[in-house]
A and B are shown apart, each in its own frame.
Chain A
Amino acid sequence: MVPVQAYLLLSALIFVIGVLTVLLRRGAITILMGIELMLNASNLAFVAFARQLGGSEGQIFVLFVIAVAAAEAAVGLAIIIALFRLRDTTDVDDLNLMKW
């Protein structure tokens, strides 16, 4: 097996790319894709540790993370659709109704 440090560094790198996508992009769906990148990076870390320590709990947790990611993607996309119907844009800078 490739040393677990390599997998963890790769996981951190993908996580950072996801964070940058959420911080720097302004399309709502692209931000959602950045969130999916972050979730997948953490999944990779879990699976790497599961192999390193020989326990299945890490893989079980990944199953739950995937299920929660599916639920969150569905609800997030529904929110984006509802907002698009209202404001005719998915640009998060234009969705500023709650700004003081």
Chain B
Amino acid sequence: MSFALFMLVAAAAILTALVVLLHRNPVIGAFFLVSNLVCLAILYLLLDAQFLSAIQVIVYAGAIMVLILFVIMLLNLRHETATVKVGGLQKAAAGLVALGFLALVARAVGTITTPVQTVPASFGTAESVGRVLFRDFFYPFEIISLVILVAMAGAIVLAKKRLD
């Protein structure tokens, strides 16, 4: 039952990612990226990561993608005007890189032998994640707040209109 659900959600994730790759209109690409993020949130639920699933929907699909959609709307982009086509050699090289990477990962994944650990019922809850975060990863947590502050200041400085 869970394998059928996994196959369904995985197929949806791959298809939505392919639409992002192939469709000309960036608005359509952004909407399908949102559905891809929601598919991944469902996969996180299958992996017992409840807190991360909620965070993915709220932050990634709900804030980052809204930001991207706002910018697309601000710049009034409709489709990519093609003045220079991507050459066939470039496409072939990209496809080769893609297949090579997939073969590498398939080979590496085949060597996994450790069995799945049994986890307690509190695995992946906000409490258990928060406990590890504020105990073992306290410094990175404070530093990431600085990163977000710097990103905010940088975005404002870069995007504001010059007054001269």
A residues near B, CB below 8 A?
A: 1-2, 4-10, 12-21, 23-27, 29-30, 32-34, 36-37, 40, 43-44, 47-48, 50-54, 56-57, 59-60, 62-64, 66-75, 77-82, 84-85, 90-91, 93-94
Residues 99-132 of chain B: 1 if any A CB is under 8 Å from the residue's CB, otherwise 0?
Answer: 0011001100110101011110001100011001
Instruction: Select from chain A the residue with minimum beta-carbon distance to B65.
Output: A36
Contacting residue for A8 out of B94, B109, B155, CB 8 A: B109
Report whether B144 and A37 are in contact in the complex, using a CB–CB cutoff of 8 Å. no
* CB atoms of B159 and A82 under 8 A apart: yes
By secondary structure, the A interface counts as: helix
Of the candidates B64, B71, B75, B132, which one forms a contact with A56 in the assembled complex, judged by CB atoms under 8 Å apart? B132
Give the Cβ gap from B30 to chain A, nearest Cβ, in Å: 7
B86 touches A34 (CB 8 A): no
Residue numbers in A under 8 Å from B48 (CB-CB): 51
Among A14, A29, A52, the residue within 8 A (CB) of B117 is A52
Bound-state CA distance A2–B7 (Å) is 10
- Verify B128–A56 contact, CB threshold 8 A: yes
Q: In the docked arrangement, what's the CA distance between A73 and B157, Å?
A: 15
Given contacts A30-B80, A51-B119, A66-B55, list 15 more A-B pairs with CB under 8 A. A14-B13, A16-B98, A16-B101, A17-B17, A23-B90, A29-B75, A43-B40, A47-B43, A51-B47, A56-B128, A63-B55, A67-B144, A71-B147, A81-B71, A90-B77
Q: Which residues of A contact B118 (CB under 8 A)?
A: 54
Q: Which residues of A contact B140 (CB under 8 A)?
A: 64
Q: Could you name 18 residue pairs across A and B whose Cβ atoms are closer than 8 Å? A: A2-B46, A9-B105, A12-B101, A12-B106, A18-B17, A20-B21, A20-B95, A26-B84, A29-B30, A33-B20, A33-B68, A40-B37, A51-B49, A60-B133, A64-B144, A77-B67, A81-B74, A90-B75
